[in-house]
Amino acid sequence: MKTGRRSTDEEGYLRLREAIVRGELVPNQRLVEADMSSAFKMPRAAVRTALLRLEHEGLIVREPHRGARVRLVSEQEAVEILQARAALEGLAASQAALKITPDGADELQHVLERQHAALEREDLLGASDVNAQLHAKIVELSGQATAQRLIRALNSQMVRFQFRTILIPGRPAQSLGEHRAIVDAVVSGDAEKADRAMHAHLTNVAAALERQQAAAATA
């Protein structure tokens, strides 16, 4: 029975976490235990435990006498997250290049083709989804479990910004070109080039977000 309860509690925690990561529960939204229990069909005790875990992950904040809310990530923190990802995903890309197989190369090329197709039909949000899949596939192919765990934790903070840079004029085409350089380097087995290409790409994304932030501040 205890095992079954742990399994149910874990499922509830994962559903609650996914709702935050996907933006269904928005930044600064209050997370009232009774409401979460009803919405996610979890006992109040399981909700309380889940909220503690999510606080530890940095997805929510708990305030005395005010309860929990989804944590709001600032523009500056989003830039810092991208800069941290540049280092971690550069490592992952280099490791993926060293371990690349024909099947892995085909998978990367296929994802890249899907991004190109989404941009051709001007489906920017769809292209953004494929963008995330490409990054995830490269990290998966790297076999770098620690990098994958850290990158996943960083990405979970980026709900508010995940589609923003793809909407910047000129950025979609630049992103596709940068992704193509990354994939070419990984597929060719050039670890150093793959590291540089990934680092350059995410640095450019961070710079685009900074420019957008500066423009909004002066508007």
**Domains of the chain with bracketed CATH:** 2-70 (1.10.10.10), 75-218 (1.20.120.530)
**Burial grade of 214 (CB within 10 A; 0-12, 13-18, 19 or more):** exposed
- Residue 5: how many other CB atoms lie within 10 Å: 12
| Sign of CA pseudo-dihedral 30, 155, 79, 213 | negative
The pLDDT, as a whole number, for residue 1 is: 39
Q: How would you class 65 by CB atoms within 10 Å of its CB: exposed for 0-12, middle for 13-18, buried for 19 or more?
A: exposed
Per-residue pLDDT of the chain (219 residues; tens, 9 = 90+): 345 556 667 888 899 998 988 888 988 999 999 999 998 888 899 999 999 999 998 899 998 888 899 998 888 899 999 999 999 999 999 999 999 999 999 999 999 999 999 999 999 888 888 998 999 999 999 999 999 999 988 988 886 676 567 778 888 899 999 999 999 999 999 999 999 999 999 999 999 888 887 777 776
pTM above 0.75, yes or no: yes
Residue 200 CA to residue 186 CA, distance in Å, equals 14
What's the pLDDT at 5? 56
Residues 6+ apart with CB under 8 A from 189: 97, 98, 100
Tell me the C-alpha distance between 165 and 174, whole Å: 11
Q: How far apart are CA 49 and CA 51, in angstroms?
A: 5
Collapsing DSSP to helix, strand or coil, 69 comes out as strand
